[in-house]
Structure formats: C-alpha cells, structure tokens
C-alpha cells in the first residue's frame, strides 16, 4: 500500500504513520528524516541541502523532490510506503504523480487528518516546545491551510482522498484509519 498522510502540525499524522508502517511492514517516509539522513550520509543531494540549512534557508522544492525520488526507489519502498509531510503543495503533488508514473508506482490514498484549529493549538502549546507559542502556531496553521487546500481538492478530484477525524483518542484514530484502508 502506498499512502500520503496530510494534516496540519499536531494532527497526529506522524504517530499514525508509525503505527500503520509497523502494521503493514512498509517504511514511514518523512521528508525531514530523508533530509537528515542524506546530510548525515553526505550524499550529493545531502551536501547541497546542508548548504541551505547552514544558512538557515528552506531547502528548495527541486532538492526535496530529488531526495524523495531517491528514497522511493530504495528496496524497502518497493512494496509500499507512507509519505508524511510530502507533498506540501499542489506543484509537489503534480511532481509526485509524474515521478510515480516514471518509476512505475502509484499512490493508493491520500489520508487527510482533520483536527479543529483550537484543539491543535492546545496540543502544540502543551508540547512546550520553544517554537510552539500560540501566535506562531496560528500562523503555521494559516500557512498550512493556504498551501494544502488546493492539495486536498486535487486528491478529492482523483477520488483518492480519505478524511480521518484526528481529534479522537489515538487508538480510535488508528482503528478508524485501519478500517477505512481495509475497505
């Protein structure tokens, strides 16, 4: 099974991705993890990414896309994967579709974890991280919604979107997700 997990920061997609990954025996692929691994392994793309990160700049889309391409072609990703945190916008989604066609894979479902903003703010403030101040969180949510609303429509139009209520208790979310994916 090949899945894309979408959802705002704090929606629980990383936790659910880990659970589904273990249950299905497929890799949970986070773009943040890919970046860190490429940098640690000093791959050519990792070295390029490092130069942006050292300057405090965002790693450009084309570099992220190259890293995703490399990762999806690794042996453990041939029978399936869960992409967490990618694609983040419509142009990345279109690139991903082209890439998957090129490497003869396809995405089964895009799972959108929905959680009311107020609950996300509460969850993230409770984490106590320095960058989890309410004003910052609300700004991140606004940026997220702006970038992903077209993305959600894109997968909905392709009949690949599955929406999951991420505001439930963690095990209930996992159960609902598992039942929905099995259907």
| Structure confidence at residue 129 (pLDDT) | 79
The vertex-125 CA angle with 120 and 126, nearest 5°, equals 100
Residues tagged in the binding site annotation for AMP? 31, 36, 57-59, 85-88, 92, 129, 140
Residues tagged in the binding site annotation for ATP? 10-15, 127, 168
Residues tagged in the binding site annotation? 10-15, 31, 36, 57-59, 85-88, 92, 127, 129, 140, 168
CB 4 within 8 A of CB 83: yes
What is the average pLDDT score of the chain?
92
The vertex-29 CA angle with 95 and 73, nearest 5°, equals 60
DSSP 26-49: --EEEHHHHHHHHHHTT-HHHHHH
Distance between CA 6 and CA 3 in Å, rounded?
A: 10
- Between 177 and 70, residue with greater pLDDT: 177
CB 97 within 8 A of CB 150: no
Q: State yes or no: pLDDT of 14 exceeds 80.
A: yes
Helices 134-157, 90-102: inter-axial angle, 10-degree rounding: 50
Q: So where are the chain's domains?
A: 2-175
Residues 19-47 have pLDDT tens digits of: 999 999 999 999 888 888 999 999 999 99
Q: State yes or no: pLDDT of 132 exceeds 90.
A: no
CB 181 within 8 A of CB 80: no
**Residue 158 confidence class, pLDDT cut points 50, 70, 90:** very high
Domain at 2-175, CATH homologous superfamily:
P-loop containing nucleotide triphosphate hydrolases (3.40.50.300)
Distance between CA 171 and CA 155 in Å, rounded?
A: 26
Distance between CA 125 and CA 47 in Å, rounded?
A: 34
Residues 81-120 have pLDDT tens digits of: 999 989 988 999 999 999 999 999 999 999 999 999 999 9
């Amino acid at each position: 099974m090949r899945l894309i997990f979408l959802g705002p920061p704090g929606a629980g997609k990383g936790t659910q991705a880990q659970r589904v990954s273990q249950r299905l025996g497929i890799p949970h692929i986070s773009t943040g993890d890919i970046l860190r691994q490429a940098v640690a392994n000093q791959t050519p793309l990792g070295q390029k990414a490092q130069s942006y990160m050292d300057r405090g700049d965002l790693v450009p889309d084309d570099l992220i896309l190259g890293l995703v391409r490399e990762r999806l072609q690794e042996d453990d990703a041939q029978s399936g994967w869960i992409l967490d945190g990618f694609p983040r916008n419509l142009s990345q989604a279109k690139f991903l579709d082209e890439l998957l066609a090129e490497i003869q894979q396809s995405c089964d479902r895009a799972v959108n974890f929905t959680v009311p903003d107020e609950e996300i703010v509460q969850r993230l403030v409770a984490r106590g991280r320095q960058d989890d101040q309410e004003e910052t969180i609300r700004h991140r949510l606004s940026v997220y919604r702006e970038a992903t609303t077209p993305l959600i429509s894109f997968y909905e139009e392709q009949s690949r979107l599955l929406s999951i209520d991420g505001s439930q208790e963690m095990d209930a979310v996992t159960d609902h997700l598992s039942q929905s994916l099995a259907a």
